[in-house]
């Protein structure tokens, strides 16, 4: 079997899947953390792998950047391959001045300027939230590993280079911790298709300083969020 975007056979993908935006980060995780690794996807170079972490089966696959892209992959993983737990691990920009580079943020909720929710034709605004059990497990794992985590709202943007350069300050005033570009699409797709989802982010940029991480660091470091997410396999 296959889908328009994933060439895996039924049974190739574990019930829990880590979802970095960058397929090369998926390869990094497979190469450095998993055993008995099998690659299940290379369509459009959106690499996907299944292996074992501490004896438990888990998969990792890139999603690409943006809500449309993660909307495609999360929908097919849930509905064609029976994936139950979808855990995005990615980078984000800090809106909150309390966040430093490499801090870990867990997105309890996700705001957006996306139209992705229009498909559900709701008379009102749907609150995109993570799965509570996954959130609770992730916070417990972080405490056990002495990893500080910031849990709260994020902004899932459709635009990276926003011409309204001061727009982010309005979201900061509402207590939004950070900005990324996928969690909103993941949370809506998971809720609408009876799956569980969580987003764990590492701060790679800040709106309060010019400090930046390099693309190479973004691809290979950020291991704290990986270590938390890998423990969430069932
Ligand atoms: N809008 C936006 N802004 C900032 Cl400051 C970001 N820092 C990291 N990302 C994430 O990294 C990619 C963009 O570089 C996206 O997948 C997004 O999720 C960011 N996305």
3-class DSSP string for the chain: CCCCCCCCCCCCCCCEEEEECCHHHHHHHHHHHCEEEEEEECHHHCCEEEEEECCEEEEEECCCCCHHHHHHHHHHHHHHHCCCEEEEEEEEEECCCCCCCCCEEEEEEEEECCCHHHHHCCCCCCCEECCHHHHHHHHHHHHHCCCCEEEEEEEECCCCCCCCCCCHHHHHHCCCCEEECCHHHHHHHHHHCCCEEEEEEEEEEECCCCCECCHHHHHHCCHHHHHHHHCCCC
Whether the model clears a pTM of 0.90, i.e. scores above it, the answer is: yes
Which residues are known catalytic residues? 205
Q: How many Cα atoms within 13 Å fall on the side-chain side of residue 26? A: 29
Query: Domains of the chain by range and CATH?
Result: 16-232 (3.40.50.1580)
Q: Is 195 in the pocket of ligand 1 (CB under 6 A)?
A: no
Q: Is 182 in the pocket of ligand 1 (CB under 6 A)?
A: yes
pLDDT the model gives residue 85: 98
Distance 202 CA to ligand 1 centre (A): 10
The answer, yes or no, to whether ipTM is higher than 0.90 is yes
Annotated binding residue 204: yes
pLDDT the model gives residue 138: 98
Q: Is 201 in the pocket of ligand 1 (CB under 6 A)?
A: no
Annotated binding residue 61: no
Give Cα 54 distance to the centre of its chain: 22
Q: Is 90 in the pocket of ligand 1 (CB under 6 A)?
A: yes
pLDDT digits (tens, 9 = 90+) for 10-51: 999 999 999 999 999 999 999 999 999 999 999 999 999 999
pLDDT digits (tens, 9 = 90+) for 96-124: 999 999 999 999 999 999 999 999 999 99
Mutation test residue for ligand 1: of 22, 114, 160, 213, the one with most atoms within 8 Å of CB: 160
Residue 187 CA: distances (Å) to CA of 3, 136, 152, 179, 230: 21, 16, 14, 15, 19
Q: Is 91 in the pocket of ligand 1 (CB under 6 A)?
A: yes
Mutation test residue for ligand 1: of 25, 94, 181, 201, the one with most atoms within 8 Å of CB: 181
Residue 61 CA: distances (Å) to CA of 115, 118, 234: 25, 27, 17
196/188 Cα distance (integer angstroms): 10
Distance 55 CA to ligand 1 centre (A): 33
pLDDT classification of 221: cutoffs 50, 70, 90: low
CA dihedral 204, 208, 212, 218 (to 10 degrees): 0
Residue 213 has pLDDT above 90, yes or no: no
Annotated binding residue 166: no
């Amino acid at each position: 079997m296959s889908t328009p975007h994933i060439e895996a056979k039924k049974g190739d993908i574990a019930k829990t899947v880590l979802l970095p935006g960058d397929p090369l980060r998926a390869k990094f995780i497979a190469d450095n953390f998993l055993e008995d690794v099998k690659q299940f996807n290379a369509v459009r170079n959106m690499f996907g792998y299944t292996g074992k972490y501490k004896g438990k089966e888990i998969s990792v696959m890139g999603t690409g950047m943006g809500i449309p892209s993660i909307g495609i992959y999360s929908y097919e993983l849930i509905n064609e391959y029976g994936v139950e737990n979808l855990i995005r691990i990615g980078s984000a920009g800090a809106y909150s001045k309390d966040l430093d580079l490499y801090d870990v943020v867990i997105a309890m909720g996700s705001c957006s300027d996306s139209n992705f929710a229009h498909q559900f034709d709701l008379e009102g605004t749907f609150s995109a939230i993570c799965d509570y059990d996954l959130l609770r497990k992730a916070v417990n794992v972080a405490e056990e590993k002495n990893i500080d985590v910031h849990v709260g709202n994020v902004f899932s943007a459709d635009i990276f280079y926003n011409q309204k350069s001061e727009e982010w300050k309005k979201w900061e005033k509402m207590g939004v911790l950070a900005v990324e570009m996928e969690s909103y699409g993941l949370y809506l797709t998971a809720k609408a298709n009876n799956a569980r989802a969580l987003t764990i982010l590492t701060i790679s940029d800040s709106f309060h300083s010019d400090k930046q991480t390099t693309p190479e660091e973004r691809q290979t470091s950020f291991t704290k969020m990986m270590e938390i997410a890998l423990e969430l396999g069932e």
